[in-house]
Structure 1
Amino acid sequence: MLNNFQNHINQNLSFLNKSRLLIAISSGLDSVVLTHLCHQLKLNIALAHCNFNLRGDESDGDEEFVLQLAEDLDLEVFIESFETEDYAKTYKLSTQMAARELRYNWFEELAEQLNFDFILTAHHADDNLETFLINLSRGTGLDGLMGIPEVNNKIVRPLLTFSREDIETYAKTNKLTWREDSSNASNKYVRNKLRHDVIPVLKEINPFLLQNFESTQNHLQDSKQIIEDAIVRIQKKAVYVDNDNVIRLSIKKLKKLSNPKAYLFELLKDFNFTEWDDVTNLLDAQSGKQVFSSTHRLLKDRDYLMLIENNSEETQESISISEDKKQLKTSFGTLFFNEADAIFDAQANVIYVDKAKLKHPLILRKWEEGDFFYPSGMTGKKKLSKYFKDEKMSLIEKENTWLLCSEKDIVWVIGRRADNRFLATENTKQILKIELNK
């Protein structure tokens, strides 16, 4: 196996030969073998072990074993102790998920602080098959059927092409010692049930199960590449990004596709949506209909689906602005208030008003139904809702419209149109320049 491992590194993961590597080691068979293989190849490695304090003396014994192994091989070692059950309760996670989160967060912190180039984990071909079956049983898209990636940012899994049998044979042949995790014998977890009860039967039916599975995954990877190429083409034709980073998807172009639901899934799968029928139904819904995920919302607005990041922190309350205020930072930019000697050409982000007509404190607030103003350059008043419609503003633009007011009167639809009643003229004695800097 050592020769096969060396060939695999040289042919597929050659960047590891010149990198500083951190091996995630549990004391179990897989990570112990990975450590010995890397040590035999004289790779630049150090060890990192997590004590999750879940198995009492057994957990402490694992830690002692790793410390002794590091001493025997003359390797640098890092140990971290976690109160995993407390973490799981605090963040409402399963114990397994809590341990996973703690482990990977710590590995990444170590790598960043101590300049490790990559983190090696000992996942192998049987682990990959188990992950595939777990995802298959739960229902998944193509990504879930891809199994465990060999390289994922800084995480590298150099044993992924080797079976558990290969690893155990190497360990016994070389008389290596390791520790067995007692929890691996329990069928309490889905992965263990598959490992003990399902996969052995599949291997009995087909002795070439792992080889065939690897071949299937290669075919899936090829198919995924074709899909990704198609999605790139669709993105260029049907997806647009506004200046305010709102993503727009053309409904007309999406509906011309052979399977709009499948394309929507591929376009939006990274934004945590789960109700894909509801997402697809937006194509034929009335404007204003929305579907929410934990991080984003998808809004139907006339000819487009608008993808917007949730922002619960943005205040919807009004803000009072005193007369001596010179600048105000807001979620949409910074407002500047300065006296001016003359009136210059009007711009969308600058207005000149007659300071004497203002009643302080000024009020900054979101627009509301029933609001009206006297648009500059026009005669008479106009409801904001009618103004928005005439300007063909999207629902998102309306939502994000702020008003600067003097008592109840609108002074400025910020960034769009001033109110005639407050504009400075050639007879104005005190000119106030109000500017929005985004």
Structure 2
Amino acid sequence: MLNDFEAHINKNFPELLSSTFLLTCSGGLDSIVLAHLCHKCKMNFAIAHCNFGLRGEASDGDEIFVNQLAKQLNKQFFVTYFDTFGYMAKNRISLQLAARELRYDWFREILKENGIDFLVTAHHADDNLETFLINLSRGTGIDGLIGIPSKTADIRRPLLSFSRAQILEFAENNSIGWREDVSNEDVKYLRNKIRLEIIPKLKELHPNFLTNFKNTLEYLSETNEISRHRLFYVKQQLFVEENGMISISIDSLKKLVPLSAYLYGLFSPYGFKEVGQIEELLERMSGKYLESKTHKLLKDRECLLLMEIANTSVEKEIYTIPDGVMNVKEPLDINFTVVDYRNDNTQNLIFVDKAALKFPLTLRKWKNGDYFHPIGMKGKKKLAKFFKDEKINSFSKEEQWLLCSDDSIVWVVGKRADSRYKVTEDTKVIVRIEVKNI
């Protein structure tokens, strides 16, 4: 196996020969063998181990074992400890997902803090088969059937071409010891049930089942690449980006065949994986929307609007502008200038009577019940009605800033000024207000 592994690295992972990487090591068979293989190939790496504290003394024994291996191989050793159950309760997720999030967040901290190029894990061909069957059982698109990627931006998995049987044979032939995790025998976990009960039956069906499966993954990956290029072309044609959001013609979407496959391919990268919900949205009334963890998808007349959800947790609700301030940079770039002339207002530029203003002025987002007196109209108008008449979509409404005086609207910024603050023949001091880059 060593010769095959070295040839595999030279052909497919040459970057690991000329860089430093972090090898994740649980103490189990796969990661211990990978550490020995990389060491025999004279590769430059450090070892990281997570002690989740889930198995008491056994967890501590794993840590000691991996630490001894790092000393034996003369490699830098990183270790950390997690309150896994506390993280599960706080985030309301499963044990497996909690452990995954905790360890990968920590691994990437090590990469960043130590200038290490890649993270290397010991996933192998049998792991790939397990993942395929798990995704198949839950329902997935082709992206869920192509298995674990051998490379991502910062992760490398050089054992994916090798079976667990090959790894075990190498360990036994080279007298390499490892730690057994008894929880791997518990079939209450789906992955263990597949590994221990289903995969052995599949291998009984054909002696070359795993090899045939690896070939199938290659074919699926090639098909997925063709699909990816097609989706890229369609997105270029249909996704029109403007002012921080993407507009997609519903009529153009409906012409795609098969529609459900296209909807999944186009919108799943943004967190929308329930195709039925997207199909329903196409037929619903304007203003209805779907929301993923990262994006909103809004039905707006004849279009779908796609927009990233802003991180409002750190955004102030109200920004104060004292008298005498000439420029503000947050949340908008606005200049205030006292002038002795008046021109017509534009979307980005208005002239107001300073005597009508009450300082400090404020910048805030709009809220239900807001109204103003639009210049050019008699009386007041609710802002919600103004947005509707101007055909301003829900996303844009959420991002709309108002310049206010004593909470009365002076300017719907970038759209319309309020007549109560306009310059008249009696105005003595004129303030020119201009917003940039809106």
TM-score using structure 1 length? 0.90
Letter of the 2:262 partner, please give it: Y
> Counterpart in 2 of 1:25?
25
Do structure 1's residue 286 and structure 2's residue 253 form an aligned pair? no
> Counterpart in 2 of 1:100?
100
CA distance in 1, matches of 2:197, 2:404: 71
Do structure 1's residue 301 and structure 2's residue 279 form an aligned pair? no
Letter of the 2:95 partner, please give it: T
> Counterpart in 2 of 1:128?
128
CA distance in 2, matches of 1:340, 1:53: 69
CA distance in 1, matches of 2:377, 2:91: 58
CA 1:176–1:434: 2 relative to 1, 3 Å: same
Kept after mapping to 1: 8 A contact 2:336/2:433: yes
The Cα of 1:44 is off from its aligned counterpart by 0.9
More moved, 113-122 vs 347-356: 347-356
CA distance in 1, matches of 2:362, 2:121: 57
Counting only pairs closer than 5 Å after superposition, residues 144-155 of structure 1 correspond to structure 2 as: 144-155=144-155
Letter of the 2:209 partner, please give it: L
CA distance in 2, matches of 1:73, 1:397: 58
Counting only pairs closer than 5 Å after superposition, residues 124-273 of structure 1 correspond to structure 2 as: 124-243=124-243, 245-273=244-272
CA 1:287–1:65: 2 relative to 1, 3 Å: same
Letter of the 1:371 partner, please give it: Y
More moved, 39-48 vs 93-102: 93-102
CA distance in 2, matches of 1:153, 1:21: 13
CA distance in 2, matches of 1:63, 1:113: 22
CA 1:386–1:137: 2 relative to 1, 3 Å: closer
More moved, 340-349 vs 108-117: 340-349
CA offset digits 1:118-146 (Å, max 9, x no partner)? 11111100010001111111111211111
CA distance in 2, matches of 1:68, 1:197: 34
The Cα of 1:105 is off from its aligned counterpart by 1.4
CA distance in 2, matches of 1:316, 1:56: 45
The Cα of 1:156 is off from its aligned counterpart by 0.7
Counting only pairs closer than 5 Å after superposition, residues 63-102 of structure 1 correspond to structure 2 as: 63-102=63-102
The Cα of 1:148 is off from its aligned counterpart by 0.7
The Cα of 1:35 is off from its aligned counterpart by 0.8
The Cα of 1:347 is off from its aligned counterpart by 3.5
Number of matched residues?
Answer: 434
Kept after mapping to 1: 8 A contact 2:19/2:44: yes
The Cα of 1:8 is off from its aligned counterpart by 0.6
CA 1:63–1:229: 2 relative to 1, 3 Å: same
Kept after mapping to 1: 8 A contact 2:372/2:418: no
> Counterpart in 2 of 1:428?
427
The Cα of 1:380 is off from its aligned counterpart by 4.1
Task: Quote the sequence identity (%).
Answer: 47
> Counterpart in 2 of 1:350?
349
The Cα of 1:77 is off from its aligned counterpart by 1.7
Do structure 1's residue 419 and structure 2's residue 418 form an aligned pair? yes
CA distance in 1, matches of 2:300, 2:9: 52
The Cα of 1:325 is off from its aligned counterpart by 5.7
> Counterpart in 2 of 1:16?
16
CA offset digits 1:264-323 (Å, max 9, x no partner)? 221111222244212112222221111222332211111210112334548897777665
CA distance in 2, matches of 1:409, 1:24: 59
CA offset digits 1:13-49 (Å, max 9, x no partner)? 1111111121111111111111111111111122111
CA offset digits 1:70-99 (Å, max 9, x no partner)? 222222222222232232223223222222
CA distance in 1, matches of 2:73, 2:298: 58
SS at 2:350 equivalent: strand
CA 1:40–1:340: 2 relative to 1, 3 Å: same
Kept after mapping to 1: 8 A contact 2:24/2:48: yes
CA offset digits 1:176-208 (Å, max 9, x no partner)? 111111111221211111111110111011111
CA distance in 2, matches of 1:216, 1:275: 26
SS at 2:432 equivalent: strand
Letter of the 2:412 partner, please give it: V
> Counterpart in 2 of 1:2?
2
CA offset digits 1:204-248 (Å, max 9, x no partner)? 1111111111111111111111111111111111111112x1111
The Cα of 1:361 is off from its aligned counterpart by 5.7
Q: Which runs of 5+ in 1 are unaligned?
A: none
CA distance in 1, matches of 2:21, 2:147: 23
Kept after mapping to 2: 8 A contact 1:367/1:403: no
CA distance in 1, matches of 2:86, 2:409: 53
CA offset digits 1:363-405 (Å, max 9, x no partner)? 6551656835242xx4645745665455443343344334435
Letter of the 2:121 partner, please give it: T
CA 1:387–1:60: 2 relative to 1, 3 Å: closer
Do structure 1's residue 44 and structure 2's residue 44 form an aligned pair? yes
Counting only pairs closer than 5 Å after superposition, residues 359-370 of structure 1 correspond to structure 2 as: 359=358, 362=361, 364=363, 366=366, 368=368
RMSD: 2.6
CA offset digits 1:156-187 (Å, max 9, x no partner)? 11000000000011111111111111111221
> Counterpart in 1 of 2:309?
310
Kept after mapping to 2: 8 A contact 1:128/1:160: yes
Letter of the 1:280 partner, please give it: E
